[in-house]
């Protein structure tokens, strides 16, 4: 196996199934040595009892994907810890360093769903989804970045890459997914901050907002989930991975702080929040004046994108 990722060591979280599995296989096919992380939880995050050191069980999804990579001639090791804990996130980095002597790319992908309308959303469901998506991204990013900062200060500036996973739900919102949408929006903001802070250490940070057929999207995309009998399967997770592999490679030099929406053969650079129409009175407004001004500005502004499911 050789290609754009030759010589690189890549850690992928949530890599036992779906998009993460596709990313791990794609990196390996391009020559990377891969740390395959997956806790093996159910769709709603119901856990198995994890090993705090990250030692994988023989029947774990992480172990299965790592074995699949090795069977195809690649190099991979499984990691079975909870990356939403400080110990688990730290062990992801140390596993890469112990096994391969380096870490070049971190792909944050792990997550699960607990969908509810807001009036029915329990605090536990809010906390659990924010924990795995947003805190899980933060902790792995923090530990990887600390390693790369140390390398940079030692005169070994890395060509390091982080690819975070947001969602269209985080960009536009999604009915019944207030917790998930908030977490995914937070990941975009985290990406922008990390790109600005870590550039000095040789680290580039980008995010993707993918659409693909996985356990997490079966209900949301029920009408379009079936793969076609022939032709291009636009919803296959494998379609997303080429962008992730490229962003995770040295070839993406100079691309950082960006969010890409990707589905099938389509890729879009997202614009994000930018100033739109503006009025400045130069003095304090009255409420009535502000109402007129807001209506005037809204008439000049493009309408917002529709919330998913609205």
Domain ranges of the chain: 9-269
pLDDT confidence tier of residue 310, bands split at 50, 70 and 90: confident
Q: Is 35 or 42 the better-scoring residue by pLDDT?
A: 35
**H helix count then E strand count, the chain:** 9, 8
**pLDDT band (50, 70, 90) for residue 106:** very high
What digits encode the pLDDT tens for the residues 164-195?
A: 999 999 999 999 999 999 999 999 999 999 99
- What confidence score (pLDDT) does residue 9 get? 98
Confidence of residue 268 (pLDDT cuts 50, 70, 90): very high
Query: According to the model, what pLDDT value does residue 291 have?
Result: 97
Q: Give percent of the chain above pLDDT 90.
A: 81
CA-closest candidate to residue 93, choices 110, 109, 77 = 77
Question: Would you place residue 84 in the very low, low, confident or very high pLDDT band (cuts 50, 70, 90)?
Answer: very high
Closest CA to 277 of 255, 253, 304, 299: 299
- Over residues 46-63, the mean pLDDT reads 67
Q: Does residue 153 carry a catalytic annotation? A: no
The pLDDT assigned to 146 comes to: 98
Residue 255 backbone dihedrals phi, psi, to 5 degrees? -100, 110
Pick from 36-45, 95-104, 207-216 the range whose average pLDDT is largest: 95-104
Task: Please determine, for residue 47, whether its predicted confidence score (pLDDT) is greater than 90.
Answer: no
Q: 284-298, pLDDT tens digit by residue? A: 999 999 999 999 999
In this prediction, residue 141 carries a pLDDT of 98
pLDDT at 222: 46
The CATH code that applies to domain 9-269 is 3.40.50.720
Task: Point out the catalytic residue in the list 174, 184, 201, 252.
Answer: 184
Catalytic residue among 166, 167, 241, 249: 167
Give me the pLDDT at residue 43, please: 58
Q: Which two tokens stand for residue 115?
A: 């969908």
Distances (CA, A) of 207 to 1, 150, 187, 227: 26, 24, 8, 26
Reply yes or no on whether 184 is catalytic.
Answer: yes
Confidence of residue 40 (pLDDT cuts 50, 70, 90): confident
For residue 302, the model assigns a pLDDT of 93
Q: Which of 224, 137, 147 is nearest to 187 (CA)?
A: 137
Q: Which of 100, 166, 180, 252 is catalytic?
A: 180
Catalytic residue flag (residue 2): no
The secondary structure of 268-282 as a DSSP string is EE---S---S----S
Average per-residue pLDDT in the chain?
A: 91
pLDDT in tens, 226-261: 555 567 888 899 999 999 999 999 999 999 999 999
What's the pLDDT tens digit per position in 187-224?
A: 999 999 999 999 999 999 999 999 977 555 555 444 44
């Amino acid at each position: 196996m050789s290609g754009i990722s030759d010589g690189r060591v890549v850690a992928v979280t949530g890599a036992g199934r779906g998009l993460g599995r596709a990313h791990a296989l794609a990196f390996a096919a391009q020559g990377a040595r891969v740390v395959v992380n997956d806790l093996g939880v159910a769709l709603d995050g119901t856990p198995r009892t994890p090993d705090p050191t990250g030692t994988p069980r023989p029947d774990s999804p992480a172990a299965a994907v790592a074995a699949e990579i090795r069977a195809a001639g690649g190099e991979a090791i499984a990691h079975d810890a909870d990356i939403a804990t400080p110990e688990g996130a730290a062990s992801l980095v140390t596993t890469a360093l112990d096994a391969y002597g380096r870490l070049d790319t971190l792909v944050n992908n792990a997550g699960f769903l607990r969908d509810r309308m807001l009036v029915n959303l329990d605090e536990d469901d809010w906390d659990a989804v924010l924990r795995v998506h947003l805190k899980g991204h933060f902790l792995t990013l923090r530990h990887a970045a600390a390693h790369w900062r140390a390398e940079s200060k030692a005169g070994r500036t890395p060509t390091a890459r982080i690819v975070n996973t947001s969602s269209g739900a985080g960009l536009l919102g999604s009915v019944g997914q207030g917790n998930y949408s908030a977490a995914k929006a937070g990941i975009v903001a985290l990406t922008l901050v990390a790109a600005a802070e870590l550039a000095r250490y040789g680290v580039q940070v980008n995010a993707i907002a993918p659409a693909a057929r996985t356990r997490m999207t079966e209900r949301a995309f029920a009408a379009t989930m079936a793969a076609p009998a022939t032709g291009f399967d636009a919803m296959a997770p494998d379609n997303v991975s080429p962008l992730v592999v490229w962003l995770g490679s040295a070839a993406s030099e100079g691309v950082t702080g960006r969010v890409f929406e990707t589905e099938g053969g389509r890729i879009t650079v997202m614009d994000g929040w930018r100033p739109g129409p503006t009025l400045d009175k130069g003095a304090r407004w009255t409420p009535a004046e502000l109402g007129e001004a807001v209506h005037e500005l809204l008439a000049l502004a493009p309408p917002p994108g529709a919330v998913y499911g609205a």
